[in-house]
Chains A and B, each alone.
Chain A
Amino acid sequence: MAYDSIANASIPTAANAKDFAKKKRANRSAKLKQCKLDARREQWLSQVKNKRSKEEMNGGGGMHVPRNERERSMENLEINPQREDNDGSVNHYSDSDSPTNSPTSHSSSVLGSNASGTNFTGSSSSRSSSSSSSSSVGCYSGTMSENDEEGDDGCLDDWEAVADALAATDDKQEQHNPLSELSPEREHVTQLDSHQESTNISKPNPICVGTAVHRAPVSGRAWRPDDAFRPQSLPNLLKQHSFPMNSDRHYGLGGTAWACKHAVSAPTACPICCEDLDFTDSSFLPCSCGFRLCLFCHKRILEEDGRCPGCRKQYDFDDAVEREATLDGGCLTVRLARSCSMITRS
């Protein structure tokens, strides 16, 4: 099936590419299988570094043939310009730092898409092998050759690219269809083996790679409190947290059963003016008795006798505002508050 898809996708290139790919695969598949069975980046890196020389040899050999292939594919396939763009985007992940690699990576990726068919039939045994097939051969050869220059980043970015492509398979399939050259068989292949196709298809489609990069982090994570894009409809965690702290503090001082009862069922309207309490008012607890009222009525009461409507005690020492001020300012504000209270009382 994979053969068919590739035959449809790029028939003329396949002839050359298959031969080369088979040789290439013979060289690499054994090594790559060992590498990918581990599926760990550290081991990747170590093995990549060990094989640098060989891979460079292979990459150098691959440079010539794929260029031919590329030229032919340019003639026959409409996809090719997109693939060239692709290579740009692929290079964005792994190859961008090496100017000499842009032709090689290009060719290798095209070759990889060809070789995917060949490899797919041969090495469908395990997941790693399937992902290692074709495109992975191509792209890994590219990345390995680039690893000579970049070290870790090549492999890391490639893994991320695979993950992003996996996350955005749906988008790929949607954008996949407009590319008329891609056959339905190939779409079957995408459904059969999403790992491989994610790598394969993400490379022909520059858009896919881009969307995958942008969408994967957004969809996968929860909103952080300090996230700029966090919806404002979500509750404010900080304020919610501060409210029970306040109530605990007040109830601890003078809490009564009455206060606790009112804490459980906090009034929605000010009992004095019957206006609805907004968030500031409902978190406003001016007296230790637990009697709640809106800020306007509180201010009005302070202008007159300054006694809590619930318990008829003076507001002064239990005033939440002054208490917060004492927390900030220390002893000086305590004295100020007391002196003010003396004035209001006398």
Chain B
Amino acid sequence: MAMKDVPDNIFMTSLDAAASWARSNSLWPMPFATACCGIELMATASSRFDLARFGAEVMRFSPRQCDLMIVAGRVVMKMLPVLQRIWLQMPEPKWCISMGACACTGGVFDTYAVVQGVDRFIPVDLYVPGCPPRPEQLMAGIIALQDKIKHGGTLNGTEFGKRTQPTGPTPYDLDELIRIREANEKLISIN
């Protein structure tokens, strides 16, 4: 069929690109909001900032219906197994945004109970910095994620299979090991 015979309302593309286009414009977020970033997340979804313009307004509180996890706020060690479980319950294809300083690195909460970045334990696609980030910033993040899905997304999600390494730093980095050893030595000397 020659190109001149194709009607105007038909365009040609690959199946991967068509699927990625559809997915990127209908992201359904799972709001994992544990702290003040969650307030900004709510503001982003509300009428003033209107996340619906980007097709991502359908916040679902069941992970089975979501394909975008937004971790908004600090995650403590008691909450992390819950986060991992919710992540595993989400159907493929799925993406994860780590929103705010605490979700990305632990932020100012460098204590025994707070996980130092969720990317150590679940895969993260995009980081939104800020404490907390403005709604515009989160929307910029979602637009960037849409871009990422459109460029490189595949129908079968084969691009995910290549990511066999954890996203974040190794759980025990060198500083942490040194700190643990010092703490244990001090404990032994006290007793």
- Does B bind A? no
Instruction: Tell me the A residues contacting B by CB distance below 8 Å.
Output: none
